[in-house]
Amino acid sequence: MAWKEVDPMEERMRFVLRATREEKVFSQLCAEFGISRKTGYKWLERYEQNGMEGIQELTRRPLASPNRIEGWIEEAIIKERQGHRTWGPKKLRHKLCERYETKKIPSVSTIGNVLSRHNLVRKRRRRRRCTGPERGNRTVPVQPNDVWGVDFKGWFYTGDGCRCDPLTVSDLATRFVLACRRTQPTVEGVKPVFRHIFGHYGLPGAISVDNGSPFGSRGVCGLTELSAWWCQLGIRVEFIKPGHPDQNGVHERMHRTLKHETATPPAPTLEAQQRRFDRWRKEFNEERPHEALGMRKPAEWYRRSPRPYRGQTFRKKYPLHYEVRMVRSNGEIKWHGTLYYIGEALHGMALGLTGNRTMGYKVYFGELLLGMLDGQTPGILRPSASEFPES
Please check whether residues 51 and 165 belong to one and the same domain.
Answer: no
Q: What band does 129 get if pLDDT is binned at 50, 70 and 90?
A: very low
Please check whether residues 320 and 376 belong to one and the same domain.
Answer: yes
In a domain, 81, yes or no: yes
Contacts of 247 (CB under 8 A, 6+ apart): 132, 133, 135, 138, 208, 240, 241
Task: Return the pLDDT at 132.
Answer: 38
Please check whether residues 279 and 329 belong to one and the same domain.
Answer: no
Task: Return the pLDDT at 137.
Answer: 65
Task: Return the pLDDT at 265.
Answer: 93
In a domain, 126, yes or no: no
Q: What is the dihedral of CA 355, 358, 363, 368, to 10 degrees?
A: -80
- Amino acid symbol at 233: L
- Between 75 and 1, name the one with better pLDDT: 75
- Between 302 and 359, name the one with better pLDDT: 302
Q: What share of the chain is helix, strand, coil (3-state, %, to 5)?
A: 35, 15, 45
Q: What band does 136 get if pLDDT is binned at 50, 70 and 90?
A: very low
* Distance in angstroms (rounded) separating the CA atoms of residues 380 and 1: 93
Range of the domain at 371: 315-391
- Between 289 and 335, name the one with better pLDDT: 289
Number of DSSP helices (H) and strands (E) in the chain, helices first: 11, 13
* Distance in angstroms (rounded) separating the CA atoms of residues 200 and 233: 15
Q: What band does 385 get if pLDDT is binned at 50, 70 and 90?
A: very low
Task: Return the pLDDT at 164.
Answer: 96
Please check whether residues 157 and 285 belong to one and the same domain.
Answer: yes
In a domain, 306, yes or no: no
The mean-pLDDT minimum among 121-130, 256-265, 345-354 falls in: 121-130
Task: Return the pLDDT at 389.
Answer: 40
Please check whether residues 175 and 225 belong to one and the same domain.
Answer: yes
DSSP state of 267: P
- Mean of the pLDDT values across residues 307-335? 85
- Amino acid symbol at 111: I
What is the tens place of the pLDDT at every residue in 186-225?
Answer: 999 999 999 999 999 999 999 999 988 899 888 777 889 9
The mean-pLDDT minimum among 87-101, 119-133, 358-372 falls in: 119-133
Task: Return the pLDDT at 314.
Answer: 65
Please check whether residues 277 and 164 belong to one and the same domain.
Answer: yes
Please check whether residues 368 and 257 belong to one and the same domain.
Answer: no
- Mean of the pLDDT values across residues 118-136? 58
Q: Which range scores top for mean pLDDT: 29-38, 136-145, 292-301, 379-388?
A: 292-301
SS3 370: strand
Please check whether residues 210 and 267 belong to one and the same domain.
Answer: yes
Q: Residue 220 burial by CB count (10 A; 0-12/13-18/19+): exposed, middle or buried?
A: buried
pLDDT at 175 over 60: yes
Task: Return the pLDDT at 131.
Answer: 40
* Distance in angstroms (rounded) separating the CA atoms of residues 83 and 253: 21
* Distance in angstroms (rounded) separating the CA atoms of residues 68 and 74: 10
Please check whether residues 319 and 366 belong to one and the same domain.
Answer: yes
Please check whether residues 225 and 100 belong to one and the same domain.
Answer: no
Please check whether residues 247 and 343 belong to one and the same domain.
Answer: no
Could you give the percent of the chain with pLDDT greater than 70?
89
Please check whether residues 372 and 330 belong to one and the same domain.
Answer: yes
If one counts the domains in the chain, the total is: 4
